[in-house]
Each structure stands twice: as structure tokens, then as C-alpha cells.
Amino acid sequence: MDESAIKGLELNGCEAEIRESRISRIVVEGYDTSLRREDVEEALRKHFASCGNIIHVYVPINEETDIPNRFSFIYVNGEDEEKALRLDGSDMGGRILQTYAYPFQENYLDDVLATLKEARQTQRTLKVTGYDPSLSMDDVESKLCKHFAPASCFAYRTCGGLQSKAFVYLVGEDDVEKALELSGRCVGGLNIVVTQVLPKKPIKCGYTRPLN
């Protein structure tokens, strides 16, 4: 098989992985906005749990009143998007939800979100897979941070050999959003995938970042 054919097969394989690992963004409205943000997030996670892996739930709040916004964002694997959209019109805590797709290229809600920019830039931890497990610790951090958010990123690799995962720390929902949009894209032959967004730092595995 000639070189061009081999490259074609590699590209097709990479494209297939992208289709399987892309992330879909969904908007949800109709829940009780008198609840705390944490309670809304927990309720949404439980309500959509049957749809598959819930990668991230973001509930914007009004910084002055601490009241959740009328719409929130749920991020799921692309293959689970249809399941999540079927919950449109479902009952959650006595409220009827509205759910609709909001692809990353759409931005018609940006004006509303701009008024809700939060003063507290929350740190999030992204669980990532798909990188070369033979890379050194420094190479893992360099490649992941370059891929996601060079200005606010810190990454470290967990133990696990060929099944290794990495945790990427990002500050601010804008960078998290960008990382979720980039998830599944082929970079240097690697299909780096965000599998989960965590609110807290996980326990590190044999590595501590030196203090500045």
C-alpha cells in the first residue's frame, strides 16, 4: 500500500474517532430558578442521567443576586444528544423542561450571558484521554495546555500505562467551553477527548506541581 493510501486510512480513522467523541451542547429551560445553583445542577444531572455520560452541567447565575439564570447548558457525547433532546417537555420537580440543541457555532445567547459574567473565576478540572501514554510528564502538560488554553492551563498525567488519563485544570467557564468544543479534534495524530468536567481537584498520582 502506498504512502498516500496509508495517510488516507489514518485520516479516515481519525475522522471516525472525531464523530464518536464529539461533544454536543444542549440548552435547558423551565426549572425552578429559586433553587441554589448547586441544587439546580444536581437535579439536572439526575434528570439527564439516563441519557448517557453527562460531561458537564453549567448553570449561569446572576452575580448580584446569586439566582440561577433561566437557562443552563448540558454537555453530552454526540451520540447521546438525541436522547437528551427527547426529554423536552419532561417533568422535573413539578416543572416542565424545554430542551434544545445549541451547537458551539451558535452564539445568539451570548448577549444574555455577557450580563452574567461571574466575578469569581471558578477552577474546573477536565478529565482527558487520547494522548500518547509514552510521552513524558512535561510533554503531556505542554501538548494538552497548547491544545486547550495556554494562558490558564495546568495538566498532569495519572498512572495507568496504556489506559492513562490526564487532568487539565482551567480557570473560567470560557476556557472550559473552548476545551469542550475542541474535544475530539485530531492534533498531531492524537484524538484528545474530554470525558468529564469536575468541580474539584482530584487526588494526584505521584506528582506535585512545584510552587512558584
| Cα–Cα distance, 75 to 151 (Å, whole number) | 23
Task: Tell whether the model's pLDDT for residue 1 goes beyond 50.
Answer: no
Whole-angstrom CA distances from 6 to 9, 13, 16, 151 are 5, 11, 15, 36
Whole-prediction pTM: 0.78
pLDDT score of 125: 87
Characterize the bridge pairing of strands 61-62 and 95-96.
unpaired
- Name the residue with higher pLDDT: 66 or 32: 32
For the segment 138-156, the average pLDDT, to the nearest whole number, is 74
| Cα–Cα distance, 170 to 54 (Å, whole number) | 19
Among the listed ranges 14-28, 30-44, 48-62, 85-99, which one has the minimum average pLDDT value?
14-28
pLDDT tens figures, 72-112? 999 999 999 999 999 999 999 999 999 999 999 999 998 88
For the segment 189-211, the average pLDDT, to the nearest whole number, is 63
The answer for residues whose C-beta is within 8 angstroms of residue 191's C-beta and 6 or more apart is 14, 17, 18, 21, 130, 184, 185
Q: What DSSP state is assigned to residue 202? A: P
Q: In the chain, what are the domains?
A: 20-114 (3.30.70.330), 121-198 (3.30.70.330)
